[in-house]
Amino acid sequence: MSVKKEPSGRRSVSVEVEVPGTPDEVWQAVATGPGVSSWFVPTEIRDDGTIVSNFGPGMESVATRTAWDPPRRFAAESPGWGGSPPMATEWTVEARAGGTCVVRVVHSLFAATDDWDSQLEGTEHGWPWFFEILKLYLKHFRGERCATVRVMGAAPEPAAAAWDAVTTALGAAGAAPGRRVTAPAGLPPLAGVVERVGETKDHHALIVRTDAPCPGIVSVVAPVMGGQVVVAFDFHLYGERAAEVAARDEPAWQRWVAERFPFGGFGGGG
């Protein structure tokens, strides 16, 4: 894929995106806990430089900040996963003409073999989708108060059939950008306009910018992992009512996903 390999043993991947906003505004979005939590996963950046990102129950990622140069650059290092070498991450914000900035993230590690290239590639492939949410956040909700909800479930393969089940249940079957979707009766209120649709053989995804129950961005992804299709719903809700709506609706979404897309209960393959 696109792993860059250097004679020193350093291996790296780089992903970038152009987003609206001044360097200071973009820096707030990518280098502060409230900012990162507004488009990525709930993240805390502590005074001692520890960065904690919560991907779900038992799925915390912890890194230590190693460089800090606002509003241009910061870097951090995290322990390896599954015996891999430590991974270094560098974020940069570069101003462009016309009121935009380029955000670039580089992940790197040192290794003498190709054993960990797939880990770098997996990290590289995940960022473009989150960067779509970042662009929408900076365009429509920049600096607003945010509350988040993450709900996860699973479905049996094949991925296409699982995705049909997910989108049909949400009232979004066949959704295309620009189409308005409304969740059917029996679900918490949810309505908005489709912003992005992504589809490959083993990964399906959807982003809806909502106006009900409050302004927000809802992302649904369904990648194939470990012989099943993991379904993740991420709600980023904005405004004065965001925390109230998140607390009210999260239990109902958890129940709905647990009933329709429970983990386990089926084998892999298909």
User: Which pTM does this prediction carry?
Assistant: 0.93
Structure token digits, residue 194: 């489709």
Are 215 and 107 part of one and the same domain? Answer: no
Q: Which two tokens stand for residue 180?
A: 């308005």
Smallest CA-to-CA distance from 241 within 177, 145, 165, 112 is with 145
Domain containing 152 equals: 146-260
Domain termination site, one of 120, 140, 160: 140
Output the six-digit token pair for 163: 């995705």
pLDDT above 70 for 210: yes
Residues of the chain above pLDDT 70, percent: 97
Q: Do 129 and 252 fall into the same domain? A: no
| Residue 20: Cβ-neighbour burial (10 angstroms; 0-12, 13-18, 19+) | middle
Do the domain assignments include residue 27?
Answer: yes
Domain end residue (candidates: 86, 116, 140): 140
pLDDT in tens, 240-254: 999 999 999 999 999
Query: Mapped to the 3 state alphabet, what secondary structure does 244-260 carry?
Result: HHHHHHHHHHHHHHHHH
Short-list 174, 268, 193, 177, CA closest to 225 = 268
Domain shared by 101 and 199, yes or no: no
**Residue at 266 is within a domain:** no
Confirm whether 245 is domain-assigned.
yes
Residues 13 and 135 in one domain: yes
Query: Residue 165 falls within a domain, yes or no?
Result: yes
Residue 230, beta-bridge partner list: 154
Q: How far apart are CA 138 and CA 160, in angstroms?
A: 32
Q: Look at residue 220 and tell me if it is in a domain.
A: yes
Confidence of residue 264 (pLDDT cuts 50, 70, 90): low
Contacts of 18 (CB under 8 A, 6+ apart): 96, 100, 101, 102, 103
Alpha-carbon span 158 to 35, nearest angstrom: 36
- pLDDT attached to residue 207: 98
Q: What is the CATH number of the domain that holds 82?
A: 3.30.530.20
pLDDT in tens, 107-145: 999 999 998 898 889 889 889 999 999 999 999 999 999
Q: CA 223 to CA 154: how far, in whole Å?
A: 10
Residues 56-106 pLDDT 10s: 777 889 999 999 999 999 999 999 777 789 999 999 999 999 999 999 999
**16 and 130 assigned to the same domain:** yes
The Cα–Cα gap between 109 and 90 comes to 12
Distance between the two ends of the chain, CA-based, in angstroms? 26
Q: Which residues contact 71 (CB under 8 A, 6 or more apart)?
A: 23, 24, 26, 27, 31, 93
CA 220 to CA 232: how far, in whole Å?
Answer: 6
